[in-house]
Amino acid sequence: MLIHLSIQNYAIVDHLDLELRSGMSVITGETGAGKSIMLDALGLALGDRAESSVVRPGADRADILASFDVQELPEARHWLAQRDLDVDGPCILRRVITAEGRSRAYINGSPCPQADLKALGGLLIDIHSQHEHQSLLKTDTHRRLLDEFSGAQELARQVQLAAQRWRQTHQALERISASGDDQRARHQLLSYQLEELENLSLAENELEQLEQEQRTLASAGQLIAACAQVVELCSESDAGNVLSALTASLQRLTAFQSQPSALQEAVSLLSSAQIQVEEAIGELNRFIDHFDADPERLQQLESRLDAIYSLARKHRVLPDQLPALQQRLLEELEGLAADDEAVEQLSEELAAYARHFENKAAELSRIRQAAAGPLAEQVQAQIQRLGMPGGRFEVRLSPMTHDEPQPFGLEQVEFLVSANPGQPLRPLAKVASGGELSRISLAIQVITAQTSRIPTLVFDEVDVGIGGPTAEIVGQLLRRLGARGQVLTVTHLPQVAAQGHHHLYVHKVREAEQTRTAVSFLEGDARVEEVARMLGGVDITEQSLAHAQQMVTAAG
C-alpha cells in the first residue's frame, strides 16, 4: 500500500509530506485548496505525462516521491526482482520534472523509463477518476476480475502457459519447416560429396607416400644415369677414378720402412675413405640392378594424385585436408537427419500442447460462463444502490475466432453497462459521465475486493451528482473497501467524509509573499468541525456540530 507521499515545488505545493495508513482515508477541503493536486502529483509518480507548467513558479524543478509497502504484493516484488530493482524496505517511485520540461524517473533510486513507472504503478495503485489510471476500462482487467471472482486464477494461468508453449513449439517447427526445401537440396549435395570422398578413400599419410614415389619414378632416367656416372667416376674410368687414386695414395704412403707417426692418422683416414667408396659403389650398383622404372606404375601414381588434387580443388581445400573435410560433411549430414527427427518430435509436441490447451481452455470457459451471471447480478444491484436506479450491468463473453490457441482462453470478456433506463448496454470504456464511471467502478471493486490484486484504490470525487441516502451508501461501500486494504477518496459530501477511518484536510496557507497548500490530519473535535462545515457551509451551528458528531460516531 501507499505509505508515504512527498511533493516538492508542484503547482501551488511548496513542500508536502504525508504519512498514509491502511483503511479509508478521506480527503476534504475547500474548492481550489489543492485536493486534486495531490492526486495529480501521485499520478506523475506513477508514470503520467508531465509538463513544465507543473513546476511551482520560482522553482527549478518539481520532485514527487511515493513509497509503497510491497511485502504482500508478490506480483510487484516479482516485477522488481526480474529487473534487479528489488530492495529491502519500501519500494520508492520518484519523478523529477524540471522547469525546462525535462523529466526523469526512478525506481528505488535507479533511473528508469517512464513506461516502467507506469507498468509498476499499475500493480500498486488504481486511480478511479477521469484520468488514465482506470484499469477497469481495459478488457484485460475485465477478464482478470471475472477469473478472480470465480476462483479460476490458477486455471487461467495454466491456459496462458499452454498457449505460450504451443506458440513457442509452433514457431520452432515453422523455422525448421521453412528451410525444408533448402535442407533437402543440401542433404542431396552432401550425400553426393561424401560419396566422392568415400570412393577416393584417402588413407592416412598416403598422399605423402604417393608424392615421394611419383617424384622418384618421374626422374628414373636421370637418376639411373647419375648413378652410373658416379660408379664410373669412382671405380671404372680408365682416365682415372676415385678408388684407383685412393689405392695409389695408400701404396705410396705405406711404401716406407719407417713411417713417421704423424702420417699414421692420414693413412687411417685414407683407408676409411677407400672402404666407404667401395661400399658406396656397391650400393649404387645394387640400386641400378634392382631399380624398376615401371611406366605403368608411374601412370597409376599420376592418375591417383590427379584424382586427389582435383577433388581438393573442387572443395577449395589443400589435398591433405580432405579427410577433415569428409568428417565435417558427415557431421553436417547427421545434423540434417537430426532436424528431420526434430520435425517429427515437434509435430507430436505441438499436437499434445494443442490438446492440453483445448482441455484447460474449455474448463476455464465453463467456469467463466457460470460466474458471469452472478458477478453481473451483484454489480448491478450495487450500481442501482449508488444512485442509478434501473441501471444494468452485463458480463459479455464473446467467442474468439482465432484458429490458434490464445493466451487468455476461448473468449473475450467485456463489461457492459447501461446507467439509465432505456439506454442500451455499452462497453464500460464508453460511459461518458465521469461520476457514473467512478460509481460503476466502485460497485465492481466492492464485489471483487476480496480477490483484487491492487491494494490501493483512489477515488476522485466519486460522489459528484449524488446526495442523501446514496451518498451515505457510497461512504459505507468505500469504508468496506478500506477495511480490506487502502482507499483514498476525495469528497465534498459529509456523508462520505464521516465514514473515513482517517481524515486529511487540505487547505491554503497564505503567507507574506506566497500562498501554499498544506494538509492536516484531523481527529476528534477538529474532524467533527470539518464534517459540520461540509454540512452547513461557512457558519457552523450547534445543530450542524451535533449532526456531524452523530454521523462520525455512527460510522465508527
The predicted structure's pLDDT at residue 131? 46
Residue 418 host element (H or E): strand 411-418
The predicted structure's pLDDT at residue 132? 38
Q: Which cell numbers in the block locate residue 306?
A: 590427379
For the segment 324-345, the average pLDDT, to the nearest whole number, is 73
Q: What is the pLDDT of residues 6-62, one digit of tens each?
A: 999 998 888 888 999 999 999 998 777 677 788 889 989 999 888 878 898 889 999
Q: Across the beta sheet with 23-29, what order do the strands follow?
A: 125-128, 456-460, 486-490, 23-29, 502-510, 515-522
Q: What is the pLDDT of residues 371-429, one digit of tens each?
A: 999 999 999 998 888 878 888 999 999 998 888 899 999 999 999 999 888 889 998 87
End-to-end CA distance of the chain: 22
Q: How confident is the model at residue 94 (pLDDT cuts 50, 70, 90)?
A: very high
What's the pTM? Answer: 0.59
Q: Which residues contact 106 (CB under 8 A, 6 or more apart)?
A: 92, 93, 94, 95, 96, 112
Mean pLDDT lowest among 88-97, 164-173, 432-441, 543-552: 432-441
Average pLDDT, the chain: 84
The predicted structure's pLDDT at residue 33? 67
Q: Which residues contact 147 (CB under 8 A, 6 or more apart)?
A: 153, 155, 156, 364, 368
What's the Cα-to-Cα distance from 23 to each of 485, 491, 516, rounded to whole Å?
6, 16, 28
* pLDDT of 370 strictly over 80: yes
The predicted structure's pLDDT at residue 451? 63
* pLDDT of 484 strictly over 70: yes
